[in-house]
């Protein structure tokens, strides 16, 4: 992974669906990578989604497996939480 200056080997694709208050915030595939040469993480999770509500553009997300992130599901949850906290999305938006 160039972003984290380490080696990465694709391991698997995992379907993840994140629902909050009855609304789907994420429904898609998360790619799992085994890392080599990273000082803190042995795994990373990555996916992409449209940049805007109208489907324009594409945003790529990479999350390291560092507690509390311990699975593709928690990686998605933490990314959504981070975006909500930064005001990039509201809990009522879906991806």
Where in the sequence is the domain holding 18, given as residue range(s)?
2-85
Query: Shortest CA distance to 10 belongs to which of 37, 45, 60?
Result: 45
Q: Is the pLDDT confidence value at 71 over 70?
A: yes
**Tens digits of per-residue pLDDT, 15-25?**
999 998 888 88
**50 inside domain:** yes
Domain count along the chain: 1
**95 inside domain:** no
**91 inside domain:** no
**Tens digits of per-residue pLDDT, 78-90?**
999 888 888 776 6
Query: Shortest CA distance to 59 belongs to which of 67, 69, 51?
Result: 51
The two structure tokens encoding residue 16: 């993840």
Query: Residue 56, exposed/middle/buried by CB under 10 A (0-12, 13-18, 19+)?
Result: exposed
**Tens digits of per-residue pLDDT, 31-45?**
999 999 888 999 999
**Tens digits of per-residue pLDDT, 53-63?**
777 889 899 99
**93 inside domain:** no
**44 inside domain:** yes
């Amino acid at each position: 992974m160039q972003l984290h200056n380490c080696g990465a080997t694709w391991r698997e694709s995992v379907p993840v669906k994140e629902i909050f208050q009855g609304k789907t915030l994420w429904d898609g595939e998360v790619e799992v990578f085994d890392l080599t040469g990273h000082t803190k993480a042995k795994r990373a999770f990555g996916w992409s989604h449209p940049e805007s509500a109208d489907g324009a553009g594409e945003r790529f997300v990479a999350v390291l497996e560092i507690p509390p992130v311990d699975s593709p599901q928690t990686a998605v949850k933490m990314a959504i939480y981070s975006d909500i906290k930064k005001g990039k999305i509201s809990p009522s938006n879906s991806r």
